[in-house]
Amino acid sequence: MKPSRKFLLLTSIGLAFLFLSLPAKAGDTPESLIKEGDFFGEVRYRYEFVDQDGPVPVTDNAKAGTIRTNIGFKTGKYQDFQALLEAQIVQNMGANNFNDTVNGKTSFPIVADPDNEEINQAWLSWSGIDGAEIKLGRQGINLDNQRFIGTVDWRQNDQTFDSVVFNYSGIEKANLSYGYIANINRIFGDDHTLGDLDSSSHFINASYGFTEWFKITGYGYWLEFDRLPARSSETYGLRATGKTLITENWSFAYEAEAATQSDRGNNMASYDVEYYHIAPSVSGHGFTFGAGYEVLGGDGANAFQTPLATLHKFNGWADKFLDTPAAGLEDAYVSASYKVTGLNKAVDGTTLTTVYHDFNGDENGDFGSEFDASVGKSFDLPKELPFEKFNILVKYADYNAEDAPFIDTQKFWLQVGVNF
């Protein structure tokens, strides 16, 4: 058994022993685990179309129909313990002309939503110390804006982590998280050679909100992967965020971040690169206008990478830069969104979003541009139905390449779902 798995096993045994040995609090009964628990779930169907100019062997457009079903139960608390169990099933439904990364259909572009059935989450937590919680097992981890660690909810198969996470928020306006990750259950599913990624990784993320307009977060991510050594790295950074009123109806928000990354452990490369991101925005009367400039440094051989991020959120929805090019990446972008209000019930709450990106290499090169647009709305359903919300999303990405090896790509999505 690997040291990382031993660590999780010993921690699990320790939590179980604590669970059995602690005296019950007044009014605290085992029945509360069930009586105060909640079932939850989601059914989400998505049609994805991809028109991509090569490269060989890609010769056709991709058309993918996939559906994911999540169902789980989160217990109430007993002796400050709580547990959650969630299953997830992803299946092809309808259009199946796409490369899901394991089906061998390499003449089609990749749509990384393979059929998969798994326990998505299974964790036990204990919160017996005021302001503190320790959570052990398979769990989702979303830190800050998910630029470094996230669950990749956009893909049908979530990314979850076999891990132990300690969180402390007992000091007002402050939060501290430490985690050890033994395995990453990636979006590619169990049949992919890198679908499960053994890990000996740690993270620390600490924040303090001085005021509403100034919150600072410091972090360290020490990542090491047995079967993906080229992505083993250590990263240190600072992040500032805030929001303040400009007038009665308009507000200003920002995020600013800087980090440095170098090789770690079994990574055979030797590099030291930097990361910067600044993104101001103004909001009012349902509108939000934003701009940003993000730089992932590269030295021509190695570049700043974020392999555990929710990457679809960054650098364009066409997902052309999931791996940062060796020359690095500069992404200058502008965005605008509007949430409809005050018209009528049928359209109120509809959100329209557009984003334009201009991509260049950090070292050199013109990587092209991209236009993204989406329209989405969530509908409340009648209380007599078992579902709470009906969600619909239409989304489009148009990436126009410049320098080789990048290629023109257009993507279209129609997504509908219900949750309870």
At 273-298, the pLDDT tens digits run 999 999 999 999 999 999 999 999 99
CB 319 within 8 A of CB 343: no
Confidence of residue 6 (pLDDT cuts 50, 70, 90): low
Decide: helix, strand or coil at residue 247.
Answer: coil
Q: What is the mean pLDDT of residues 58-79?
A: 95
Distance CA 217, CA 241 (A): 8
193: domain CATH number? 2.40.160.10
> For residue 5, what pLDDT is reported?
55
Kindly tell me the burial class for residue 212, based on how many C-beta atoms sit within 10 Å of its own C-beta (0-12, 13-18, 19 or more). exposed
* DSSP 8-class letter at 114: -
Residue 254 has a pLDDT of: 98
In the predicted model, what is the mean pLDDT of residues 211-217?
A: 97
Query: 31 or 395: whose pLDDT is higher?
Result: 395
Between CA 352 and CA 27 the distance in angstroms is 49
Count up the domains in the chain and report the number: 1
**Cα of 309 vs its chain's centroid, Å:** 6
Residue 407 to residue 420: CA distance in whole angstroms: 40
Read off the pLDDT of each residue in 26-52 and give the average, rounded to a whole number. Answer: 89
Ramachandran angles phi, psi of 177, nearest 5°: -125, 135
CA quadruple 304, 179, 253, 367: dihedral, nearest 10: 20
Question: What would the two tokens of residue 240 be?
Answer: 């500032």
Asked whether residue 15 carries a pLDDT value surpassing 60, the answer given is no
| Rounded Cα gap, residues 275 and 67, in angstroms | 36
- Check: pTM over 0.85? Answer yes or no: yes
> Token pair of 197, please?
């990624």
Question: How confident is the model over 333-345, as pLDDT tens digits?
Answer: 999 999 999 888 8
238-253 as b/e, with b when 16 or more CB fall inside 10 Å?
A: ebbbbbeeeeeeebbb
Q: What is the pLDDT of residue 276?
A: 98
Band the pLDDT of 25: cuts 50, 70, 90. Answer: low
Percent helix, strand and coil across the chain, each to the nearest 5:
5, 55, 40
- Sign for the CA dihedral angle at 224, 262, 151, 218 comes to positive
According to the model, what pLDDT value does residue 4 have?
Answer: 52
How much is the average pLDDT of 386-394? 93
Is the pLDDT confidence value at 17 over 70? no
Residue type present at position 21: S
State which amino acid sits at residue 49. F
Q: What is the pLDDT at residue 102?
A: 96
Q: How is residue 311 annotated by DSSP? A: G
Decide if 221 contacts 252 (C-beta within 8 A): no
Decide: 30 and 20 in contact? Cβ < 8 Å: no
The CB-side HSE value for 74 (13 A sphere, CA atoms) comes to: 8
Question: Is pLDDT above 50 for 1?
Answer: no
Burial class of 295 by CB neighbour count within 10 A (0 to 12, 13 to 18, 19+): buried
- Percent of the chain scored above 90 by pLDDT? 84
* Model confidence at 47: pLDDT above 60: yes
| Reported confidence tier of residue 386, pLDDT bands at 50, 70, 90 | confident
* Confidence check: pLDDT of 106 > 90: yes
Residue 123's domain comprises 3-419
CA–CA dist 258, 263 (Å, integer) = 17
CA angle 402, 403, 409 (to 5 degrees): 50
Q: How confident is the model at residue 3 (pLDDT cuts 50, 70, 90)?
A: very low
Read off the pLDDT of residues 199-209 as tens digits, 9 standing for 90 and up. 999 999 999 99
